[in-house]
Amino acid sequence: MDTEHASVADLAALRAAFAPDDNGASALGLPAVGAFEAEHGVVLPEPYRTFVAEMTDGSYAGPPDFGLLALADLPGDWEDDRPERRLDLPFPLTEAWLWEDEEDDARPPEEVDALLERVFGHGSVVLGTDGCGMNWHLVVTGPHRGHVWNISGEGAVPFGAEFGSTTGTSGFAGWVTHWAGNKPWFDAP
């Protein structure tokens, strides 16, 4: 996955998935994307960066179920008591973590709370929601930069065939292509 350069194939797949003016917001343009990046101390991974700059910044058509959020937005069910989001700090996970299934004595509660704050608040933009707090994030900082993650109240799971829960290709374009193919998110046998 190349997070520095948008491939022609990825951009074509994104254009095919989102018709022009697909009931979504208009594209931001490179100056607005650059201003967002400067404000947050990040460079968005490709092809998402080109997508929001040239195609659309959000879409009611999805993905996910409730549509693709604009770059700086959060889902309506985002909890107000969460700490301020810091995109410049690294997203902390590199493998799935189902904290709901973890033994109560596996980690001290204060360690779990601190890690959860980083999972929800560091190094990712929220792409959208499937409802009930099940949100899709694009990692913009850290070792998983460019990967899409599903983060809910129960756990966090990376999207991509190499992680075992889906047949989809990793990254923003792979996530969109999987959705455009009407495939279930978690379709691995």
- CA distance linking residue 43 with residue 51, whole number of Å: 14
What does pLDDT average to over the chain?
90
Instruction: Answer positive or negative: Cα dihedral of 43, 47, 51, 57.
Output: negative
The structure tokens 């659309």 sit at: 56
Higher pLDDT, 105 or 11: 11
- CA distance linking residue 66 with residue 94, whole number of Å: 26
pTM of the predicted structure, to 2 decimals: 0.92
Whether 162 contacts 174, CB under 8 Å: no
DSSP state letter for 25? P
End-to-end CA distance of the chain: 23
Give pLDDT tens digits for 132-182.
Answer: 889 999 999 999 999 999 999 899 999 999 999 999 999 999 999 999 999
Give pLDDT tens digits for 33-71.
Answer: 999 999 999 999 999 999 999 999 988 877 888 889 999
Higher pLDDT, 126 or 23: 126
- CA distance linking residue 47 with residue 11, whole number of Å: 7
| Three-class SS state of 117 | helix
Query: Which residues, 6 or more positions from 60, have their beta carbon under 8 angstroms from its beta carbon?
Result: 22, 23, 24, 67
Higher pLDDT, 14 or 80: 14
